[in-house]
Structures are given as structure tokens and as C-alpha cells.
């Protein structure tokens, strides 16, 4: 499995231009073809989906689109659309998000949807509802950036939490990586330019070039990624820098304190390079403090940490923290 994961990651780093290519990567074929489950999304004509599928195929893998995962706590119509719990913006409202966060995949069809695939891959796309954050926030308030998909938020959250609880490898790109941060309880940056503005720091569009006109096609920003030594990513690429990695996003993971996450790469476009690591034994490493320096953290991956002598997934750990908070409020 480790060899398969290494080959897949290396192949997916190869995607060129709008596909997501880092110039230093090289495609290595699979010794045998694993089955890659791609988390459900309705818009299968999106390049965020088709380019990932093509990358898997070119690396010798086989992909399948997983079924939508739905929550037993929420109501859906026959087409799989939520009939309640959705705001006027298209995001999950606070009550619906609370059920998803507290119960995670339990009572859902996640096990049936995932089946026996070798790994589940989560693609890019819309912003994640900020009500799903470990510390829920109001939406960012930027009208031009309204882009939510409540059904996909629920499906991705439940699918990923099921995988993490059951030791099924996951891989996330863009939104997929950010969903891993959300599930794990990381601090999320809803809008990178706004965070820079709050800090009084000039932002140079490192993570997304501005469109020449509103109707223009997205213009990917190419930047380098500094790879953490000793990480799996470092073993794969054989160096500390990936050059020319395209980026198109305005959100990021800001802080991984008190999570079971390891940052394997960061961007350093404005000398704001800060990261975090969790070594064996579960002791947290250095991380930017809440409200500290923003940064686009690329290549975030999950590693099981040790908590009270047991391996626990971030989904299970966060769910326990949330239920504890609810119970404390009830006692008060």
C-alpha cells in the first residue's frame, strides 16, 4: 500500500498547467493497478474532477466515482438535494452542521459508498461551509466569493471521517486538503487576502492570480512549495522544493495546533513560512498561533497520533471534543 500511495502522489504532482503540475515531478507507473475511489461530486464535467481522473489513469491506476454519502440526521429529496438546513448562500446552516460534526459518518451510507477501494481521493471545488469548522464562524461576507455546495460538504465530511476512523488512506487536493483540516479541528482561513489585510500585510496574489475580467477563465498562480525534510513528500520528490506548482484558491489552513496533522509543505511567497509537525508520540511541534501569520499550507496529510496511549483519528477526536463541550454546556 505504501508503494502504491507513493506512486500515486508522485503521479498527481505531475499534472501540468491548469492540471496542477510541479515541474520537478516524474510519473512512475503503478506496479499493479489499485482502485482509487474519488469522493462524490455532481459536476463530473468540472476540470477539478476530470484532470484528477486523467492523472490517475496516466499513472496506471483505475478510478471509480463514489456514491453520494448522506446523513440520517438531515432530509433529502429524491435527487439527493437537501430539503432543509441550507442557507440562502447555499452553505449548511448551524443546526445541520452541528449534526454532521457531532455524529460524523455514523448512521450514514459511508461504508457502502466507500466499499473496498484502496484509497479515497478528494478533489477541489467550492468553499467549505464555515459552520462545519471546529469553531464555527459567520461566512466571510465577500459577495464575489460566494461558492458553496451543502450536499457536497456533508458527503465529503462523512466520507472522509469514515475513512479516517477505519484506517482507509485519503488524499486531498485544494478543497480536499482543506476538508481534512476542517475535520481535524484546524483553524481555517476563509479568505487569504482578507487575513493579510487584517494583519496590515500586503498580499501579492501568491495563491491565485486575479482575473483580467470577471468572465475570464481562471488564471492559475505558479509558486514554489517548500517541502518538509523527513516527510513522505520529501522522500517522494527527493528534495526540499517543488517549483511552479499552480494554485487557484482564496482559502487555506491557518493553524494545526491541537490536531493530529503534519504539514509537509508550505509556500514562502512573502517570507511567512511557518509550519507544524506531530512527531511519533503525539507531541505537537511549532505552529503559528491563532490570529498569527497566514500561509497557504500545501501537501497537508494525516498521520495517526497517540492520544492517551491509543491511535485515534482526527474525526473521532474532534467529535469527542465537541460532545464534551456540549455536555459541559448542559451541566452549566
d(CA 142, CA 108): 33
- The string of pLDDT tens digits covering residues 60-97 is 889 999 999 999 999 999 999 999 999 999 999 999 99
CA 250 to each of CA 112, 175, 183, 242: distance values in angstroms, whole numbers, following the listed order: 34, 10, 19, 20
Task: Give the global pTM.
Answer: 0.76
- pLDDT higher for 306 or 60? 60
Residue 297 has a pLDDT of 36
Please determine, for residue 187, whether its predicted confidence score (pLDDT) is greater than 50.
Answer: yes
Residues 69, 109: contact at Cβ < 8 Å? yes
Q: b vs e for 42-77, b when ≥16 Cβ sit within 10 Å of the residue's Cβ?
A: eeeeeebbebbbebbeebbbebeebbbbbbebbeee
Question: Which of 41, 105, 42, 115 shows the shortest CA–CA distance to 73?
Answer: 105
Residues 232, 6: contact at Cβ < 8 Å? yes
d(CA 83, CA 230): 47
- What residues does each domain of the chain span? 7-331
* DSSP string across 156-182: HHHHHHHHHHTT--EEE-THHHHHHHH
* DSSP string across 119-137: EEEE---SBPPGGGSSS--
Could you give the 3-state DSSP secondary structure of residue 218?
Answer: coil
Lowest mean pLDDT among 57-61, 189-193, 281-285: 281-285
The β-bridge partners of 62 are: 35
pLDDT classification of 251: cutoffs 50, 70, 90: confident
3-state helix vs strand vs coil in the chain, percent to 5: 30, 15, 50
* DSSP string across 41-59: -S-TTSHHHHHHHHHHHHT
pLDDT classification of 59: cutoffs 50, 70, 90: confident
d(CA 258, CA 142): 29
Residues 284, 257: contact at Cβ < 8 Å? yes
- Give the position of cell 463541550: 325
- The string of pLDDT tens digits covering residues 174-185 is 899 899 999 999
Q: What single DSSP character describes residue 105?
A: T
Specify whether domain 7-331 bears CATH 3.40.50.10470: no
Kind and range of the H or E run holding 2:
helix 2-12
Please determine, for residue 269, whether its predicted confidence score (pLDDT) is greater than 70.
Answer: no
Residue 254 main-chain phi, psi, to 5 deg? -100, -30
Amino acid at each position: 500500500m505504501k508503494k502504491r500511495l507513493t506512486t500515486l502522489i508522485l503521479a498527481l504532482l505531475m499534472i501540468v498547467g491548469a492540471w496542477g503540475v510541479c515541474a520537478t515531478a516524474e510519473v512512475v507507473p503503478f506496479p499493479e493497478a489499485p482502485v482509487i475511489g474519488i469522493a462524490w461530486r455532481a459536476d463530473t464535467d468540472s476540470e477539478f474532477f476530470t484532470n484528477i481522473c486523467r492523472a490517475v489513469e496516466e499513472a496506471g491506476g483505475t478510478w471509480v466515482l463514489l456514491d453520494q454519502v448522506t446523513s440520517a440526521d438531515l432530509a433529502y429529496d429524491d435527487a439527493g438535494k437537501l430539503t432543509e438546513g441550507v442557507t440562502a448562500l447555499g452553505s449548511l446552516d448551524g443546526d445541520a452542521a452541528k449534526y454532521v460534526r457531532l455524529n460524523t459518518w455514523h448512521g450514514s451510507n459511508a461504508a457502502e459508498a466507500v466499499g473496498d477501494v484502496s484509497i479515497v481521493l478528494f478533489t477541489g471545488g467550492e468553499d467549505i461551509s464555515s459552520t462545519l469548522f471546529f469553531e464555527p464562524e459567520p461566512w466571510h461576507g465577500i459577495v464575489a466569493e460566494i461558492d458553496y455546495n451543502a450536499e457536497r460538504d456533508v458527503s465529503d465530511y462523512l466520507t472522509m471521517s469514515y475513512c479516517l476512523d477505519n484506517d482507509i488512506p485519503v488524499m486531498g487536493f485544494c478543497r480536499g486538503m482543506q476538508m481534512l483540516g476542517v475535520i481535524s479541528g484546524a483553524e481555517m482561513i476563509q479568505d487569504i487576502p482578507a487575513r493579510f489585510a487584517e494583519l496590515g500585510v500586503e498580499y501579492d496574489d501568491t495563491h491565485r492570480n486575479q482575473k483580467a475580467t470577471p468572465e475570464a477563465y481562471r488564471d492559475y498562480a505558479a509558486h514554489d512549495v517548500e517541502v518538509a525534510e523527513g516527510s513522505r513528500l520529501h522522500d517522494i520528490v527527493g528534495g526540499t522544493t517543488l517549483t511552479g506548482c499552480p494554485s487557484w484558491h482564496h482559502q487555506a489552513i491557518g493553524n494545526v495546533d491541537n490536531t493530529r496533522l503534519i504539514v509537509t509543505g508550505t509556500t514562502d511567497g512573502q517570507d511567512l513560512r511557518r509550519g507544524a509537525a506531530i512527531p511519533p508520540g503525539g507531541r505537537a511541534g511549532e505552529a503559528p498561533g491563532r490570529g498569527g501569520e497566514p500561509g497557504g499550507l500545501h501537501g497537508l496529510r494525516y498521520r495517526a497520533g497517540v492520544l492517551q496511549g491509543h491511535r485515534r483519528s482526527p474525526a473521532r477526536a474532534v467529535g469527542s471534543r465537541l460532545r464534551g463541550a456540549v455536555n459541559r454546556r448542559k451541566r452549566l
